[in-house]
Amino acid sequence: MTRIYIVEDNADLLENGILCLKAQGFDCYGASDAQSLNTLISEQLPDLVVLDWMLPDESGLDIAQKLRNNDQTNKIGIIFLTARSNITDRIAGLEFADAYHIKPIDYQELGAIINSINRRSATISPDKTAKSTWQLHSTTLALHSPAGEVLSLSHREFILLRELAQSSNAPVSAKQIIEAWGESWLHYEKNRLELSLSRLRRKIKNISDDSLNPVRAIRNQGYHLMIPIQVHD
């Protein structure tokens, strides 16, 4: 049974969320702040955390960053469920979360999103098979999904994915990506890299799972590829 922790400081929303997810068969527990979540995690790791952004003791974004940067918790699924709807917040949240959704949400839909993330987690686990691998072709600058969908890439998008795919599962720094583009690290505007990543994530989502976060940011380290990609010359 999937174990879920909901972090929400509104008591009514928290109770309703727990009841609705339990009714769908999830093993669900609630926390009203970061401290309560830490207590739950110390007792047992969840499969997934549903996070509000605005919490009394720590922001949901900070919590998500810490979960991703900790070896013991970086495999936990994360869904943002928040009233913050502007694109800047969405981009920031998706650096660390698997999905970002605006309140209010139908809890049947939330349950479907959770199941989708669970299925994808199995696909990208260390024992993934060739059948689930994406194919990156240098001659056509195209990315082929496991389902056979084809995504045309810009030259920079191809280089970005190639650097990530050839990193032996290690994070790739922003400096490495920018220099692979032939740009100067010292003079390049770093927000342009974030915009390129945001566009690439959106393009990949359009041919796969809308809740997919194919490239995840790791604080002070760089970027990590969350889908298996094989590069073809």
Same domain, 167 and 95: no
CATH, residue 44: 3.40.50.2300
According to the model, what pLDDT value does residue 130 have? 41
According to the model, what pLDDT value does residue 121 have? 66
Which of 108, 91, 107 is CA-nearest to residue 213?
A: 91
CATH, residue 159: 1.10.10.10
165-177 burial code (b ≥16 CB/10 A, e <16) = bebeeebbbbebb
Q: Are 153 and 139 in contact (CB under 8 A)?
A: no
Bond prior to 228 in cis (omega within 30° of 0): no
* CA 152/CA 161 separation, integer angstroms: 12
User: What type of residue sits at position 75?
Assistant: K
The residue among 71, 102, 123 that closes a domain is 123
Same domain, 95 and 152: no
Number of domains into which the chain is organized: 2
* CA 135/CA 74 separation, integer angstroms: 25
Q: 123 Cβ partners below 8 Å, 6+ apart?
A: 132, 146
Same domain, 117 and 135: no
Q: Are 142 and 229 in contact (CB under 8 A)?
A: no
Alpha-carbon torsion (70, 73, 74, 80), positive or negative: negative
The residue among 100, 123, 146 that closes a domain is 123
Same domain, 16 and 116: yes
The residue among 75, 99, 123 that closes a domain is 123
According to the model, what pLDDT value does residue 127 have? 40
pLDDT tens for each residue of the chain, 233 residues long:
789 999 999 999 999 999 999 999 999 999 999 999 999 998 888 999 999 999 999 999 999 999 988 888 888 999 999 999 999 999 999 989 989 999 989 999 999 999 888 876 654 444 443 447 899 999 999 999 988 899 999 999 999 999 999 986 778 999 999 999 999 888 888 788 889 999 999 899 888 866 677 888 877 788 888 888 999 97
- Give the domain extent around 211: 130-232
Same domain, 28 and 134: no
Please tell me whether the overall predicted TM-score, pTM, comes out greater than 0.75 for this model.
Answer: no
Same domain, 8 and 97: yes
82, β-bridge pairs: 102
